[in-house]
Structure 1
Amino acid sequence: MTTILHIDSSARQGTSRESRSGSHSRRLSSRFIQQWRLARPDDDVVYRDVGANPPRPVSGEWIHAAFTKPEQREPWMQAVLSESDALVKELLAADLIVAGVPMYNFNVPAQFKAYIDNIVRVGQTFGFDRNREGEPYWPMLSGQNKRLVILTSRGDYGYDPGERIHHMNHVERSIKTAFAYIGITEVHSVAVEYDEFADTRLQASIETAEAAVDTLVMQLAALGPAPSRVARVA
Structure 2
Amino acid sequence: MTQTLILKSSILGEHSESGRLLDYFTSLVDEPQVRVRDLAASPLPMLDGEGAQALRGGDNLNERQRELLALSDELVAELKTADRVVISAPMYNFHVPVQLKAWVDLICRAGVTFRYTEQGPQGLLTGKKAVVVSTRGGQYQGSDLDMITPYMRTVLGFVGIRDVEFVYAEGLAMSGEGRESGLSEARGLLSELAAG
Same fold by TM-score, threshold 0.5 exceeded?
yes
Deviations 1:163-215 (A, max 9, x none): xxx11101121111011001000001111111212411101211121111111
SS of the residue 2:144 aligns to = helix
Q: Which runs of 5+ in 2 are unaligned?
A: none
2:176 to 199, 210, 216: 199
The CA distance in 1 between the partners of 2:93 and 2:62, in whole Å, is 39
The CA distance in 2 between the partners of 1:52 and 1:180, in whole Å, is 27
Amino acid at match of 1:31: Y
Query: What's the RMSD between the two structures over aligned residues?
Result: 1.5
2:96 to 96, 108, 116: 108
* TM-score, length-scaled by structure 2: 0.93
User: What pairs with 1:1-234 in structure 2 (closer than 5 Å)?
Assistant: 1-14=1-14, 22-36=15-29, 40-41=30-31, 43-69=32-58, 72-74=59-61, 76=63, 77-128=65-116, 132-135=117-120, 137-142=121-126, 145-157=127-139, 159-161=140-142, 166-219=143-196
SS of the residue 1:180 aligns to = helix
The CA distance in 1 between the partners of 2:109 and 2:118, in whole Å, is 21
Contact persistence 1:61–1:80 (CA under 8 A): no
The CA distance in 2 between the partners of 1:126 and 1:189, in whole Å, is 23
Amino acid at match of 2:192: T
- Classify 1:171/1:218 alpha carbon distance in 2 versus 1 (closer, same or farther; 3 Å): same
Q: Which runs of 5+ in 1 are unaligned?
A: 15-21, 220-234
The CA distance in 2 between the partners of 1:211 and 1:107, in whole Å, is 24
Contact persistence 1:98–1:150 (CA under 8 A): yes
Contact persistence 1:24–1:152 (CA under 8 A): no
Bigger CA drift: 107-116 or 193-202? 193-202
Bigger CA drift: 78-87 or 23-32? 78-87
- Give the deviation of 1:75 after TM superposition: 5.3
Pair member with larger Rg = 1
Contact persistence 1:54–1:115 (CA under 8 A): no
- Give the deviation of 1:56 after TM superposition: 0.4
Contact persistence 2:172–2:182 (CA under 8 A): no
Deviations 1:104-150 (A, max 9, x none): 0111001100111111112210113xxx5343x321113xx201001
